Amino acid sequence: MKIIKRNGSEVTFDISKIENAIRAANNEVPQSERLTEREVKFASLNVTDECMEAGHTVTVEEVQDLVEDQLMALDHFEVARKYIIYRYVQNQKRHKNTTDDKILALIECNNEEVKQENSNKNPTVVSVQRDYMAGEVSKDLTMRELLPADIVEAHNEGIIHFHDSDYFAQHMHNCDLINLEDMLQNGTVISGTLIERPHSFSTACNIATQIIAQVASCQYGGQSISLTHLAPFVDVSRQKIRRQVEAEMAAIDAHPGEDKIAQIVEGRLREEVARGVQTIQYQVVTLMTTNGQAPFITVFMYLNEAKNDQEKADLALCIEEMLKQRYQGVKNEDGVWITPAFPKLIYVLEEDNVREGTPYFYLTKLAAKCTAKRMVPDYISEKKMREFKLSKGETEGNGDCYTCMGCRSFLTPDRSGNGYDNVANAGNYEPGKPKYYGRFNQGVVTINLVDVALSAGRDMDKFWEIFDERLELCHRGLRCRHERLLGTTSDAAPILWQYGALARLKKGEKIDKLLYGGYSTISLGYAGLYECVKAMTGHSHTDKEATPFALAVMQHMNDKCAEWKAAENIDYSLYGTPIESTTYKFAKCLQRRFGIVPGITDKGYITNSYHVHVTEPIDAFTKLRFESEFQRLSPGGAISYVEVPDMQDNLEAVISVMQYIYDHIMYAELNTKSDYCQVCGYDGEIQIVEDDGKLVWECPHCGNRDQSKMNVARRTCGYIGTQFWNQGRTEEIKDRVLHL
């Protein structure tokens, strides 16, 4: 059994340290009030048993709480008092250098929680350590100086989660929908260098990757670009290649005819497209931003976004190449093809690609093949999205289809009716057209729904009362985020605010006008709807008796967002939080506050957003149909998934799921496995096994447990993770049941 020290490092549990601590307090009181040696052993063993039954790796603070409880239970109140005083004095001494200890521990790679905080960061790399060091300092400053004490306390207790506090001290925001079209067509500036409109597709792709890297270094969340914005440069290259071919033919006095010239041009054009797409695929994977990780980038593939037939055909060519290269994968250091984490791909299911006989069904079949092997693309239903996302004046079924900002965070529909009067001064502004590219999210604060329910103790009146109190805490936390951005000048991130990624403001101009009126969003996150409903009703939210309560909880949060929005002219939006590492934090906090409650706090994780619990038997189609109700009530961000086995030999079933997605749910993905053992070459599923109370990854073929010698790809929060996960998330991955 392990224990987590104050600096975050894990060490083997040692009962003698508990015994010695009790003896030390014992020696501070008169002989008549001391514990006997037998009582010392008894109390220590009880604490050990409780640690083993905790359901997670306990911290030093938790052990000390348990010791206090045992001393009180044995009626040795004076010993307990001395123990509490000693603990308080030591804590005061440590308070001054807690951050120092954490930084030193992460530099030496001993801080287990930080090491596994982000499954796409390698904590042994100095650039990642530098980011984590800065993050620890920023967290310390944020919690001591920048946030109200009650919000800090609620965050530390796991009642709410104030996301990305390691970036809060700076005037940074969450995620972006990049206006790549404006930057490519009208030029941009990168690191003081003017970048003009590119003269080929491959150059446009190269510029796009530089933009992606620059943007990722100026914000802390995900970002998305549309492949449609690169498609016009295919024809630019086509015309350039045609001129070259015609010049070559003239030089040798050859007259092959128009058909032959066209054939040569298209052949060379395909090579150009392949080079450009390869630039995106490889540069995104190999780039490292100032955050110490690859950019969290999503590439959107939407045929109906093209402006004309030629552009649509060229876009299809780009999509085809993107899918082919992603299916192939990238080579690891041993030269073996593996699944990369980025870029995330989203493929839009539309009337002209979703069924056999439609013009672009060949792309959908290629997408299915890619998903079965590489877990991407994910799928957006144009049909359902146009039902859900209605800009001003639009009717259901005739709304908008657009990409999320990263893994799942969606902008609110354009409520201005006029593209916000081009408040961002974009060079590609179209009056009357809904505005999405160039908009962004200000930040997230998440409510722990499970804690609300357990605090209420099945008393419905008390539940709604506590719920409103906690929502107001989140509201105040979100206001802190908003107010931290107010007054930020465009000089803080020129690529974002001056050179087109989000806006083209003047130097020194404040970004404040982009924080109001719906141009940007701000997200009320939520986690643990399943456990919340079960705690209050005794049933899963999939049970017909409990579903109405689950929907009422969702509606109540939407109503609060609408209330705040009306009062402040800020687009608050309900967001199904990914909680990659927060799932473990919330679970540990719940166990500390409420103990082990069967079916609710007995695991090292809580359920993401509105999802069906990972252990609940349910078929793929029923799951997607059920969760579609909740997606509509989670407008600020939502994604659903189905867990599937190896489907590479059953692409018909994959396509059936995709077609079901098109008809029933807005945004969904298929989760499979894509692993490789570098020791023995095994390419099946790497297993999760338990070793001395800790979950570890193991090759079932050779027994390899060295994480540096295996490639594991799993989707845990919308993105694919490849650097392994904390114990709570690992347990959640292990518990997943198949839906197909």
pLDDT in tens, 592-629: 899 999 999 999 999 999 999 999 999 999 999 999 99
Active-site pick, 218, 322, 407, 561: 407
**644 has a pLDDT exceeding 70:** yes
Higher pLDDT, residue 291 or 601: 601
For the question of residue 436 being annotated catalytic, the response is no
In the annotation, is 407 catalytic? yes
Within-domain flag for 657: no
Q: Partners of 675 in the beta sheet?
A: 712
The number of domains in the chain is 2
Model pLDDT for residues 308-341, shown as the tens digit of each residue: 999 999 999 999 999 999 999 999 888 999 998 8
- The catalytically annotated residue of 205, 405, 536, 677 is 405
SS3 636: coil
Place 151 in a pLDDT band, splitting at 50, 70 and 90: very high
User: Tens of pLDDT along 530-557?
Assistant: 999 999 999 999 999 999 999 999 999 9
Indicate if 288 belongs to the active site: no
Report whether pLDDT(524) > 70: yes
> 573 pairs with which residues across the strands?
523
113 and 204 inside one domain: no
Helix (H, G, I), strand (E, B), or coil: what is residue 399? coil
Q: What is the mean pLDDT of the chain?
A: 92
Among 441, 520, 634, 726, which one carries the catalytic annotation? 441
- Mark whether 146 and 251 lie in a shared domain: no
How many CB atoms sit inside 10 A of residue 188's CB? 27
Instruction: Mark which of 293, 327, 342 sits at the end of a domain.
Output: 342
According to DSSP, the β-strands at 297-301 and 223-226 are: parallel
pLDDT at 172 over 60: yes
Does the annotation count 385 as an active-site position? Answer: no
Domain end among 150, 185, 216: 150
Confidence label for 421 from pLDDT (cuts 50, 70 and 90): very high
* More confident call, 710 vs 291: 710
Q: Are residues 48 and 186 both part of a single domain? A: no
pLDDT of residue 108: 59
Alpha helices in 538-671 (DSSP H): 547-568, 582-594, 620-632, 651-664
Q: Is residue 238 part of a domain?
A: yes
575 a catalytic residue: yes
Is the separation of the CB atoms in 112 and 9 below 8 Å?
yes
For residue 379, indicate whether it is catalytic: no
- pLDDT band of residue 185 (cuts 50, 70, 90) is very high
Q: Which of 131-135, 292-296, 567-571 has the highest mean pLDDT?
A: 567-571
* Complete edge-to-edge strand list for the sheet that includes strand 58-59: 10-12, 2-4, 58-59
Token couple for 367: 């997408």
179 and 76 assigned to the same domain: no
Q: What is the pLDDT of residue 665?
A: 98
714 domain residue, yes or no: no
The dihedral of CA 145, 149, 151, 155: what is its sign? positive
Q: Are residues 228 and 100 in the same domain?
A: no
Catalytic position from the list 175, 183, 301, 401: 175
Range of the domain at 262: 175-342
Strand 175-177 relative to strand 2-4: parallel, antiparallel, unpaired?
unpaired
Contact of 723 with 712, CB cutoff 8 Å: no
What average pLDDT score do residues 31-35 get?
A: 90
182 in the same domain as 137 = no
Q: Considering 437, 575, 662, 667, which one is annotated as catalytic?
A: 575
Highest mean predicted confidence (pLDDT) among 66-70, 176-180, 583-587, 713-717: 176-180
The rounded distance, in Å, linking the Cα atoms of 716 and 430 is 38
Asked if residue 120 is part of any domain, the answer here is yes
Least confident of 45-49, 158-162, 716-720, 735-739: 716-720
In this structure, how many other beta carbons lie within 10 angstroms of the beta carbon of residue 309?
Answer: 8
Q: Is there a contact between 230 and 206 (Cβ–Cβ < 8 Å)? A: no
- Could you tell me the pLDDT band of residue 288, with boundaries at 50, 70 and 90? low
Confidence of residue 473 (pLDDT cuts 50, 70, 90): very high
Is residue 176 classed as helix, strand or coil in its secondary structure? strand
Q: What angle do the packed helices 60-73 and 15-26 form, to 10 degrees?
A: 50
174 assigned to active site: yes
Asked, for residue 489, whether it belongs to a domain, the answer is no
User: Which pLDDT does position 626 carry in this prediction?
Assistant: 98
| Residue 494 belongs to some domain of the structure | no
pLDDT average, residue stretch 562-591: 94
409 is catalytic: yes
d(CA 107, CA 128): 10
> Quick check: 154 pLDDT over 90?
yes
pLDDT tens by residue, 189-232? 998 999 999 999 999 999 999 999 999 989 999 999 999 999 99
Q: What percent of the chain has a predicted confidence (pLDDT) above 70? A: 93
CB atoms within 10 A of CB 662: 23
> What's the confidence (pLDDT) of residue 130?
67
Q: How many other CB atoms are found less than 10 A from the CB of residue 489?
A: 17
Residue 359 lies in a domain: no
Residues 183 and 323 in one domain: yes
Handedness of CA 691, 693, 696, 701 (dihedral sign): positive
Helix (H, G, I), strand (E, B) or coil at 688: strand
Residue 207 lies in a domain: yes
How does pLDDT run across 83-102, given as a tens digit for each residue? 888 776 766 555 555 566 66
What residues pair up with 161 in beta bridges, in sequence order? 446
Q: How many CB atoms lie within 10 A of CB 602?
A: 14
Claim to verify: residue 135 and residue 19 sit in the same structural domain: yes
| Contact assessment for residue 705 and residue 712, using Cβ atoms and an 8 Å cutoff | no
540 touches 600 (CB < 8 A): no
pLDDT confidence bin for 402, thresholds 50/70/90: very high
Token digits for 179?
A: 């206006």
One domain, residues 134 and 256 = no
What DSSP line would sit under 710-730, residue for residue? EEEEEESSSSEE-S---HHHH
- Residue 113, pLDDT score: 57
Q: Is 718 a catalytic residue?
A: yes
Catalytic residue among 50, 580, 627, 731: 580
Has residue 116 got a pLDDT over 60? no
Residue 458: count of CB within 10 angstroms of its CB: 12
Write down the catalytic residue from 138, 179, 200, 409.
409
Catalytic residue among 718, 719, 721, 726: 718
Per-residue confidence (pLDDT) for residue 285, from 0 to 100: 82
**Same-domain pairing of 94 and 145:** yes
Which of 133, 150, 167 lies at the terminal end of a domain, its last residue? 150
**DSSP 3-state assignment of 189?**
strand
Q: What is the pLDDT of residue 724?
A: 75
Proportion of the chain above pLDDT 90, given as a percent:
75
From the list 9, 111, 165, 174, the catalytic residue is 174
Q: Please tell me whether residues 29 and 98 are part of one structural domain.
A: yes
Dihedral sign computed on CA atoms, order 425, 426, 428, 430: negative
Mean pLDDT, residues 658-684: 94
Same domain, 229 and 105: no
